[in-house]
Structure 1
């Protein structure tokens, strides 16, 4: 017993420094030119990384990579539609456990800059807003409309319960918290910004608050009294001037979003920017004592149906791809790129004297899978749920559905040639007549009509409509409903009397029969298995497939689309098993496909 007691005592003594480090309260404040951590100047070298875009099993490894590049801080948004997918139903579990993400960063010796502003943009579905806000008549986001403020308050209070205990002032590692997000690009209502500030304080975020905006918008988006941070500017003299002008001639100076590259959308070239263009800028910013947050340090993957889209009066609808590789220093799978290594060299020059960076972890193991075959293929009509009836076509929001597909079905009198038009299609539609695909409509390319020759008799018309991602930035943020949002016209006359089938695919539907219809060209759910002797990262090669979504072992890995530039889907090793693995594909336009392979690298730069 004495020996056991001594061992326990020694364990307690040796664990005390670690416990003290985790629970010690700090101060974080604004100096005239620098941030002050415990009263001493602190140069924040931060990298953005979003917890929903990285498997929880990989958070710690990615943070070790951040330390190896010389970062001392992680920046992340908090995503409303992740945490309150339905009104009043909160989810902070699994990959959505933001508190665990922050605590993991603390365990790895990293500070956190938190961005729980209800609007995040982030190339994320609806800019982070939950779809159900659009079910509430009269609600207007990003303003003082009472219903919005009530929903916002409920959400931010829930977030505060999770995260306010983790502020530095309370013994955690969250240095500061951002209210709203690039609000000056949207409006200039200081009263609304002050409501944001008060809501955050009520939720327990009683530490340092700040705003961030791009150069043209900083004046409109800044709330006097808070630190104004700048996005997308890396000229030191300009950064200091802009912040001084909006902060009583004082600093500190913080670039809240410094872009080492850019994101991609379907049908356009993959964005890459050589690291050489950034080294001098990074060096000069850090030499000037300006704190920085790289957007993104590690992008990861926008899985499921959570990608956003851009659109404005000059730009057509542009849904973003599933890969959020971003040409970031850490690639989609979490491996160091040459950009990472070169940034590490620059950063190391500006670290406290005597700092020795950890060795860069080795690249993650990769496997190939030569032949994955699908043993069943069920056409769309084999797994339809019970429909809802409606005279007019209803939107996703009307149906209480966030993402996925809705099948609109009706009858037309045949023996006629005419134009079928969907007014305000959101966003992609497979047109079927009597159970056969006859065409595709696509908001992205502006195609909303098709000429049909109907056979004689009573004709069945089916329209499978996909939500390709709600707009996450710009004026159309307020008009973001999905599905058939106005009406269907046949030969110029409105079509009524619809059967509506909800296909949210939040879980894979039960298929009534596994037998495929020979020669069927309608969308199909394909299922199969593959066996592995060893696991590793891999990339499903979808380049011969058409358009759809992939699940592996129940994980929705995201969308693919032959138009490119993304032609592969990343599968993290942590979601694979030795032995049998399950795969499912919802294929919209090439249901005849029955096999695919997995290769050892991403293909993100092929347009078709």
Structure 2
């Protein structure tokens, strides 16, 4: 637009990027890098990204020597609590959801801690500033807030998704499946986040389930309550057909004429953050589901938003059972832990041994976990905790462990992929 300043985003080769910018808008306007990338985000199943401070310092110095302005992104790492993580699309095909941590290898970490990168950038900015522009009595860099390893928490009870469903109220009836955004809830605004369960009846003769269009974004299929498989949009070459013969072997005395419940639990793994793909990014089942080649009709649809009123109602339910680790269906698990009579500090939650799901600390959704990594621990800010009794509730989609652990060090991956620096 005429009269509007153009800026550029990059993490190295400032001279090249600003050269392109000059060709676009001339030499008589200020230069600015609006997003100078100090790190990068992580997708599930990838390695954790790190941009080493040595390369960062060289690149920032080049920006400053060109007389350009710079805006650091991210200067302070963060956390995508709840269902707020984003996602990307590669070549309009492969869906890649972002992990819960948005630490981004930033100068100030996800937990607000000062890093070597921060110290080096601070020193560089002071060095490159005009004489007497920086006061000699700068404040001292704050000491990082200590973290506490509160230790192991034993999981004591569980309640299955099947037993939770009555607490959701009357399900929606529909001849055909529909995406979550089309449900008549939230003042007819539809469902924006969370999970959605589609339920229908088939006969024991059913041998295959075919999704005409890939679910958005990850569907777990259950036949007579038994896990039958997962259809995922995240795979490079995703399949849409699921064979039921293996799971049918687990069901004793199944007859071909028996009426069987077919459940499809779809997870919204995160909305696409950029580009034109985000416009059509509906979630749930977007098109027909075929059983043995025939379009299945007559569905019950349950929205699972996991809002606080629902969590409170589940916590007060009488369907909780004593913990049994062999449960292999979606379920909520709970446990409690005590913090001595003092102001709680930050900690990190290790979900080692668990598979995939979300975690609530004192009814606050701290985000998603997934054993495929790279993220291994999950940031718990001290203000979410309280002196005395604290509760942890976990929605596990597959199979649980018997405990969790609170540790004092963040683990975003045992391996890292460094930025492509030439030094």
1:383 matches 2:188: no
Q: Structure 1 residues 331 and 523, CA, compared in 2 at 3 Å: closer, same or farther?
A: same
**Is 1:549 equivalent to 2:358 in the alignment?**
yes
1:334 corresponds to: 112
- Which residue of structure 2 aligns with residue 369 of structure 1? 150
Distance in 1 between residues matched to 2:282 and 2:93, nearest whole Å: 19
Residue 178 of structure 2: aligned partner: 394
Greater helix share, structure number: 1
- The question of whether the paired residues in 1 share the 8 Å contact of 2:214 and 2:231 is answered with no
- Structure 1 residues 397, 286: CA separation in 2 closer, same or farther (over 3 Å shift)? same
Of residues 564, 582, 585 in structure 1, which corresponds to 2:394? 585
Q: Deviations over 1:541-579 (max 9, x none)?
A: 012110001111222111000010011110011211111
Cα separation, 2, equivalents of 1:419 and 1:233: 46
Provide the rounded CA distance (Å) in 2 between the counterparts of 1:321 and 1:485: 24
Alpha-carbon distance change, 254 to 432 in structure 1, aligned in 2, over 3 angstroms: same
Residue of structure 2 equivalent to 1:350? 128
Aligned to 2:286: 485
Q: Match for 1:526 among 333, 339, 343? A: 333
1:387 Cα deviation after fit: 0.3
Return the alpha-carbon distance in structure 1 between the equivalents of residues 83 and 193 of structure 2. 6
Q: Shift of residue 438 of structure 1?
A: 2.5
How far off its partner does 1:236 sit?
A: 4.8
Deviation at 1:604, TM superposition (A): 0.9
Instruction: Write the distance in 2 (CA, Å) between the matches of 1:236 and 1:324.
Output: 25
Describe the superposition over 1:482-522 as per-residue Cα deviations: whole angstroms up to 9, x where unpaired.
00011111122211110001111122432243333965421
1:451 and 2:258 matched: no
Name 1:262's counterpart in structure 2.
40
The CA deviation at 1:314 is: 6.2
Matched with 1:515 is 320
Q: CA deviation at 1:238?
A: 3.7
For residues 180 and 92 of structure 2, what CA distance do their matches in structure 1 show?
26
Stretches of structure 1 lacking an aligned partner (at least 5 in a row): 1-222
How far off its partner does 1:598 sit?
0.8
After superposition, the Cα gap between the structure-2 partners of 1:465 and 1:245, relative to the gap in structure 1 and judged at 3 Å, is same
CA contact (8 A) 1:266 1:321 kept: yes
1:370 Cα deviation from its structure 2 partner: 1.6
Q: Quote the offset at 1:226 in angstroms.
A: 0.8
Note closer, same or farther for the CA distance 1:243–1:267 as it changes in structure 2 (3 Å cut): same
Report if aligned partners of 1:256, 1:292 keep a CA contact under 8 Å in 2: yes
Inter-CA distance 238–224: structure 2 relative to 1 (3 Å threshold)? farther
**Residue 282 of structure 1: aligned partner:** 60
Cα RMSD (Å): 1.9
Tell me if 1:429 matches 2:219. yes
Structure 1 residues 258 and 497: alpha-carbon distance in aligned structure 2, compared to 1, 3 A threshold:
same
Question: What secondary structure is seen at the aligned counterpart in 1 of 2:266?
Answer: strand
1:380: Cα distance to partner?
0.3
SS in 2 for 1:280: helix
Report the Cα distance in structure 2 between the residues aligned to 1:249 and 1:418, rounded to whole angstroms.
64
| TM superposition score normalised by structure 2 | 0.86
Q: Kindly indicate whether residue 183 of structure 2 is the aligned counterpart of residue 405 of structure 1.
A: no
Provide, for residues 177-211 of structure 1, a one-character-per-residue CA deviation record: whole Å limited to 9, x for no partner.
Answer: xxxxxxxxxxxxxxxxxxxxxxxxxxxxxxxxxxx
SS, match of residue 317 in structure 1? strand
- Find the counterpart in structure 2 of residue 194 from structure 1: none
Kept after mapping to 2: 8 A contact 1:224/1:247: no
CA contact (8 A) 1:224 1:246 kept: no
Per the TM alignment, residue 241 of structure 1 is displaced from its structure 2 partner at its CA by 3.5
1:504 to 287, 305, 316: 305
For 1:422 and 1:589, locate their aligned partners in 2 and report how far apart those are by CA, in whole Å.
25
Q: CA deviation at 1:240?
A: 4.4
Post-superposition CA distance 1:217-251 (Å, at most 9, x none):
xxxxxx12111111116545445434433335312
Shift of 1:451: 0.7
Q: Which residue of 1 aligns with 2:251?
A: none
Helix, strand or coil at the partner of 1:410: strand
Residues 10-37 of structure 1, C-alpha deviation per residue, up to 9 Å, x if partnerless? xxxxxxxxxxxxxxxxxxxxxxxxxxxx
Cα offset for 1:402? 0.5
Q: How many residues align?
A: 384
Indicate the larger mover: 529-538 or 421-430.
Answer: 421-430
2:230 is matched with 440
2:209 touches 2:289 (CA, 8 Å); kept in 1? no
**CA 1:237/1:363 → structure 2, altered by over 3 Å: closer, same or farther?**
same
Counterpart in the other structure of 1:566:
375
Asked if the contact 1:421–1:490 (Cα under 8 Å) also holds between the matched residues in 2, the reply is no
Shift of 1:351: 3.1
Change (3 A) 1:436 1:236: closer
Alpha-carbon deviations, 1:290-349, whole Å to 9, x = none?
110111111210111111111143651100001001111111101011111111111111
Q: 1:478 to 1:484 in 2, by over 3 A?
A: same
Q: Which is further off, 560-569 or 444-453?
A: 444-453
Tell me what 1:604 maps to.
412
C-alpha distance in 2 between matches for 1:573 and 1:247: 48
Query: Mapping of 1:212-231 within 5 angstroms?
Result: 223-231=1-9
Tell me the CA shift for residue 288 of structure 1: 2.6
